[in-house]
Structure 1
Amino acid sequence: MLQDRKNEHLDVVLGGHGRSRAQTGFDRIAFEHVALPELDMDDIDLSTVFLGKRINAPLLVSSMTGGPARAADINRNLAIACQELGVALAVGSQRIAIESQELSGLGAELRRYAPDIPLLGNFGAAQLNLGFGVDEARRAVEMIGADALIIHLNPLQEAVQPEGDRNWAGLLAKIENLTLNLGAPVVIKEVGTGISCRIARRLLDVGVSAIDVAGAGGTSWAAVEAERARSPEQAAIARAFVDWGIPTAEAIRTVRAACPEAFIIGSGGIRDGLDVAKAIRLGSDIVGQAAGILEAATRSPEAVVNALSITAAQLRVACFCTGSSNLSALADAPLQQTAGTRP
């Protein structure tokens, strides 16, 4: 049943039926154009460090998943592409692999495809109330040689999903137990409705190493679950929440303001390299993208390389036209003072 559900999720997203009605907020952000950048564009440095490894651009291919056969192809294509470009990769949920030993591309071969990049494992927070603990988390890390483990938060999806796991009591203490005993960094990621500054602060205080805000404006898992609902009543419940969540731009800005020391991953509806630039300017250290390259990920490593190369090239143009020689300069680039813009 879980494998079927994962495949249904992929089909809905690939079919374009999982979009949020919410806006990311990036359209309200505009850089001040620098007509005399005094830079050689080829010398702009897009590199940064993530999980102790230098990556060539501040990009994370965020978690994608599916049934085992499709997931194996997706993981292979992504790993090869991310290694070629020198950017980070987070795998989709490893729950099936942990529970059934069906690795679906989530074994040691994944690290062989991508020996040098930051690689992150992943499973859902709700599983911590269903028998998962430090041992399962270690298995998730060890099976792919991961540099860190993502614990994803998806309470809205679980609430509107007929098969959803709705016992979320006591999870913060269990996340803290992982941070203390796993022996690898723990990253917390939402799945498209955002993390508030209040929740981010609580997570950082229990030892979480990075926050992926994954705000509203991209894939809506309420919309996805409405599409796969088995009754009109289930669909109606889910559709009421299609625009639920904290817009990505607002989530990044407020978490950075409240948690200046945090390592922040900005994701949720990232369309292109200009959105990446805006996310960096608002406070992200790196930026994640999933649905925007999912179709490429189902085809080939070359298709993924092409999609990510375009994003990186767009980011470089944004740096050039803001006079930013590197990501630190971009984070301080002037913004236009237009309605709704916060410098």
Structure 2
Amino acid sequence: MIAQRKDDHVRLAVEQQHGPSGHNQFDDVSFVHHALAGIDRPDVSLATEFAGIAWPVPLYINAMTGGSEMTGVINRDLAIAARETGVPIASGSMSAYFKDASCAGTFSVLRQENPDGFVMANINATASVEKARRAVDLLRADALQIHVNTVQETVMPEGDRSFSSWVPQIEKIAAAVEVPVIVKEVGFGLSRETVRTLRDLGVRVADLGGRGGTDFARIENGRRELADYAFLQGWGQSTPACLLDAQDVGLPVLASGGVRNALDVTRALALGAFGVGASGVFLRTLMDDGVSALIAQISTWLDQLAALQTMLGARTPADLARCDLLIHGSLRSFCADRGIDTRPLAQRSRSSHVLHELTGSTR
């Protein structure tokens, strides 16, 4: 039953990727163009550091799957792509492994094919400390993701209906495991209040996991006999909204959900993310065209990211957070309702000296 559910998730997620893309609130974020801001490409680095974690690039393959024969093959190919491009990678939820140890290889293949890469294990918020440690040990993981997904569980026919234990359990796991703990949403977003709570629980990083990418309410509704939860499609906050909402909370954030291209990666970094994850768009490429095409896609995104940093005058991904941004449309309305003043974003270069001075200095 679990293996079938995992295969259903993949099939329904790919179907979503083949549908019309529509508007995405990343489209409500634009850079102020400064024609003399550019720097030299050899001076650009893609390295990023946060919460004691150092990555060679700010792009990662986010949690997708595992637990069945088919998903084990997918994880193998994802791991190969991560190895060949140097991007970090996260496993899908390892709940299937805890229920049936015979599917361990569908997860451990991430490390077998990517022995020197940055690998994240993934568990749910009901897992015990012992299970959290088992997940880390199986993958020799460099970090542990705990996913939170009340909306998905609510729509899932066999999903959990008890959520009150999640907060204390996250705190226990964060205190007990020896690797950094990252709490991630699965596509409905983390609010400012939630990120603040995670900070106070001892979580090291929040993966905002906003609306705009794979919609797990829609996926689980597609598995229901009556498909009677269609009204929850589109629930939650977008990734750009979450990034703006989480400013100044004091917890490093990663951005995932609705990332379509290198420009969206650049926008997310400029909005304060230390790294940007994608899953659905990579899954579609892998399933449609194979691992070689996925390697080419990720390599292209990294090359384009470096090109955009060069054009914008950002030597590092962190420097993108000094570039001037304009916030438009429904995203601007969200900010107004949440009491977020977006006007300073449009004038950040005045104080951070991103633009070249007459001397040619950018500092």
TM-score by length of 2: 0.85
Residue 348 of structure 2 corresponds to none
Change (3 A) 1:329 1:133: same
Q: Which runs of 5+ in 1 are unaligned?
A: none
Residues of 2 paired with 1:47 and 1:262: CA distance? 19
CA contact (8 A) 1:64 1:290 kept: yes
Residue 355 of structure 2 corresponds to none
Q: Does 1:105 align with 2:96?
A: no
Higher-RCO chain (CA-CA 8 Å, sequence separation at least 6): 1
Residues of 1 paired with 2:327 and 2:152: CA distance? 37
Q: Does 1:286 align with 2:275?
A: yes
Q: Give the counterpart of 1:313 among 303, 320, 327.
A: 303
Q: Which moved more, 1:92-101 or 1:13-22?
A: 13-22
Residues 191-340 of structure 1 mapped to structure 2, 5 A cutoff: 191-231=186-226, 235-236=227-228, 238-257=229-248, 259=249, 261-298=250-287, 300-336=290-326
Residue 154 of structure 2 corresponds to 159
Residues of 2 paired with 1:162 and 1:3: CA distance? 15
Q: Which letter maps to 1:305? A: I
CA deviation after TM superposition for structure 1 residue 328, in Å: 2.3
Change (3 A) 1:34 1:116: farther
CA contact (8 A) 1:256 1:264 kept: no
Q: Which letter maps to 1:151? A: I
Q: Which letter maps to 2:311? A: C
Deviation readout 1:297-323 (Å, 9 max, x if unpaired): 346432221121122122223212222
CA deviation after TM superposition for structure 1 residue 185, in Å: 1.8
CA contact (8 A) 2:25 2:240 kept: yes
Q: Give the counterpart of 1:145 among 133, 137, 140.
A: 140
1:202 alignment partner, SS class: helix
2:237 alignment partner, SS class: coil
1:15 alignment partner, SS class: helix
CA contact (8 A) 1:152 1:191 kept: yes
Change (3 A) 1:183 1:80: same
CA contact (8 A) 1:48 1:55 kept: yes
Residues of 2 paired with 1:49 and 1:209: CA distance? 13
TM-score by length of 1: 0.90
Residues of 2 paired with 1:215 and 1:153: CA distance? 12
Deviation readout 1:234-291 (Å, 9 max, x if unpaired): x13x21010110111010111123x1x3121101100011001110111101001000
Residues 33-52 of structure 1 mapped to structure 2, 5 A cutoff: 33-49=33-49, 52=52
CA deviation after TM superposition for structure 1 residue 105, in Å: 2.5
What is the percentage of aligned positions where both structures have the same residue? 33
Question: What is the aligned length?
Answer: 331
CA deviation after TM superposition for structure 1 residue 91, in Å: 0.6
CA contact (8 A) 2:67 2:106 kept: no
